[in-house]
Amino acid sequence: MPHQYIKKILQARVYEIAKETPLDEAASISSRLNNQVLLKREDLQPVFSFKLRGAYNKMAQLSDEQRACGVVAASAGNHAQGLALSAKVMGVKATIVMPKTTPDIKVNSVRARGAKVVLHGDTFDEAFAHSQKLVDEQGLVYVHPYDDPDVIAGQGTIGMELLRQRSGPIHAIFVPVGGGGLIAGIAVYIKYLRPEIKVIGVESEESACLKAAMDANERVKLDQVGIFADGTAVAQIGETTFDICRNYVDEVITVTTDEICASIKDIFDDTRSVTEPSGALGLAGLKKYVAREGIEGKTLIAIDSGANVNFDRLRHVSERAELGEQREAIIAAKIPERPGSFKQFCQTLGQRNITEFNYRYSDNSEAVVFAGVQIKPGERDELLSALGEHLDEVADLSDNETAKLHVRYMVGGHAPVGMQDEVIYRFEFPERPGALMRFLNKIGGRWNISLFHYRNHGAAYGRVLVGLQVPEEDRGKVQDFLAEIGYHFWEETDNPAYQLFLN
């Protein structure tokens, strides 16, 4: 079998449309990990993904009669774009069936390249079933996104390029895995020429179909597939690809959503390219491998497989990146309900920067706060221990999905019945390390804080919403006091959003 694929890879017709992508050193992450980390930049292909290679190579192998029938494929997006562009260049009619969950950027890109798009189902498997129906009904030729020898050979040209670009020692190559076409093509070529190089697959924990198959020594269909890494959200590894992977892939590493987001940030910091979640899988697995093995001074390669991501998803990526890098802890704590307790809580945190602070008054005895705290990797236990020495109850929510996805945005609610004299102010102040602590020092303990919301968004200015319990006779004093602080502020007590949801 390897000889067959080596010949196919060497003869693959990918460079009529695809380009040889650079192998760039990621300087910052290399320095941090004490290894040479190289990124294979498949995000720089004309369709911003490696999928163009396999799609075009398959199209190039079709007969004139097959091309005249038109082609169809089911795809989460990147194979769709590759096939659409290939069909346009060759003058072939293309129909793409895509899950309804596919990011708009991919759907629009496929349509812009002249292909007909059919949105069907929520997963790749549902889209695939519909594409097979179109094959039967319309006589279209199906071009599989991964489970096809010609597609695998097209993706295998990446392995060919890697060995040409890096002739020196390579410890391991980390490859994102969905249906397995990319890793199968790379693995069969690498292991034939350089068997000492490890080829390691990386999957999201939410769609680890290759790991499940390797563990069971047979193809396994997952009951449920998460779609955060939508480009690799496949329930079952391909039949042909698994035959290759079980013989040539050394191991499979799974990574969390937070770890993927942290790697998206790492790639951006080093390349200024925003990769899609699936595209960052390789680096996420590489980092996990280095931490596990404790290796230094090695050359490690991660395949940056694509950059097709919806812009609005970057909010979620940004929120989770620091957690994935273990540079932020999410905690809940009970503190005494009295003036100055916020300040005391912040002093307990020491010099650590607060990234988020949510609180709503509930009763006269104690307050429950939800806070994000900037930490160094491995420092979370130290932080929890320090808080535990001063507070009766502290909960670590850093790994709590419900807290991270929902509760952090829902903390608060209406003021309890009977609470009086609350006034609401919105502040802006220059954002820098320790800014929130300085703000609390200026507010001091003169009036009880009944509501507090702050989130460090990385902007030039921090924004805080504060509720203070100010007796009627002190209302004039509070305005004068806040003016002396020197920060921009606005009273929001009559704001309809506050009246509806918080008062």
Percent of the chain with pLDDT over 70: 89
Residue 380 has what pLDDT?
84
- Among residues 70, 224, 213, 237, the alpha carbon closest in space to that of 147 is found at 237
For residue 459, name the pLDDT band (cuts at 50, 70, 90).
low
Six token digits for residue 398: 């850093």
**Which whole number is the average pLDDT over 285-294?**
97
**Which whole number is the average pLDDT over 140-158?**
96
**Which whole number is the average pLDDT over 441-470?**
73
- Among residues 46, 43, 271, 281, the alpha carbon closest in space to that of 177 is found at 281
Q: Strand, coil or helix: what is 255?
A: strand
pLDDT tens digits along 351-396 = 777 777 777 766 677 777 888 888 887 788 888 887 877 777 888 8
Residue 410 has what pLDDT?
58
Residue 2 has what pLDDT?
67
Residue 456 has what pLDDT?
63
**Res. 406: pLDDT tops 70:** no
Q: Which residue has the higher pLDDT, 498 or 251?
A: 251
Q: Which residue has the higher pLDDT, 42 or 498?
A: 42
Residue 469 has what pLDDT?
86
For residue 310, name the pLDDT band (cuts at 50, 70, 90).
confident
**Res. 431: pLDDT tops 70:** no
Cβ neighbours of residue 33 closer than 8 Å, sequence gap 6 or more: 287, 290
Planar angle of CA 285, 226, 106, nearest 5 degrees: 90
Residue 451 has what pLDDT?
80
Least confident of 28-37, 105-114, 315-324: 315-324
Q: Which residue has the higher pLDDT, 304 or 326?
A: 304
Q: How far apart are CA 72 and CA 103, in angstroms?
A: 20
**Res. 429: pLDDT tops 60:** yes
- Among residues 407, 415, 465, the alpha carbon closest in space to that of 436 is found at 465
SS3 content of the chain, % helix, strand, coil (to 5): 45, 20, 35
- Report whether 242 contacts 201 (CB < 8 A): no
Q: Which residue has the higher pLDDT, 155 or 313?
A: 155
Residue 86 has what pLDDT?
95
Q: How far apart are CA 5 and CA 159, in angstroms?
A: 12
Residue 195 has what pLDDT?
96
Residue 169 has what pLDDT?
97
**Which whole number is the average pLDDT over 258-270?**
94
Cβ neighbours of residue 160 closer than 8 Å, sequence gap 6 or more: 9, 10, 189
Q: How far apart are CA 233 and CA 124, in angstroms?
A: 7
**Which whole number is the average pLDDT over 14-30?**
97
Q: How far apart are CA 494 and CA 479, in angstroms?
A: 15
DSSP state of 298: -
**Which whole number is the average pLDDT over 244-268?**
95
**Res. 435: pLDDT tops 70:** no
For residue 407, name the pLDDT band (cuts at 50, 70, 90).
low
**List of E strands, 312-353:** 328-336
pLDDT tens digits along 81-102 = 999 999 999 999 999 998 887 7
Residue 301 has what pLDDT?
98
Q: Which residue has the higher pLDDT, 220 or 228?
A: 220
What is the per-residue burial (b if ≥16 Cβ within 10 Å, else e) of 459-471?
Answer: eeebbbbbbbbbe
Mean pLDDT of the chain: 87
Residue 205 has what pLDDT?
94
Cβ neighbours of residue 281 closer than 8 Å, sequence gap 6 or more: 174, 176, 177, 202, 203, 204, 229, 232, 255, 260, 263, 305
Percent of the chain with pLDDT over 90: 51
For residue 331, name the pLDDT band (cuts at 50, 70, 90).
confident
Q: How far apart are CA 110 and CA 124, in angstroms?
A: 16
- Report whether 168 contacts 179 (CB < 8 A): no
- Report whether 308 contacts 284 (CB < 8 A): no
The catalytic residue positions are 51, 305
Q: Which residue has the higher pLDDT, 330 or 53?
A: 53
Six token digits for residue 356: 């988020």
Residue 405 has what pLDDT?
64
The answer to whether the pTM exceeds 0.85 is: no
- Residue matched to tokens 């020495």: 389
**List of E strands, 134-270:** 141-142, 172-176, 198-204, 251-255
Residue 319 has what pLDDT?
75
- Structural domains of the chain ordered from first start: 2-48+150-321 (3.40.50.1100), 51-142 (3.40.50.1100), 326-501 (3.40.1020.10)
Residue 227 has what pLDDT?
77
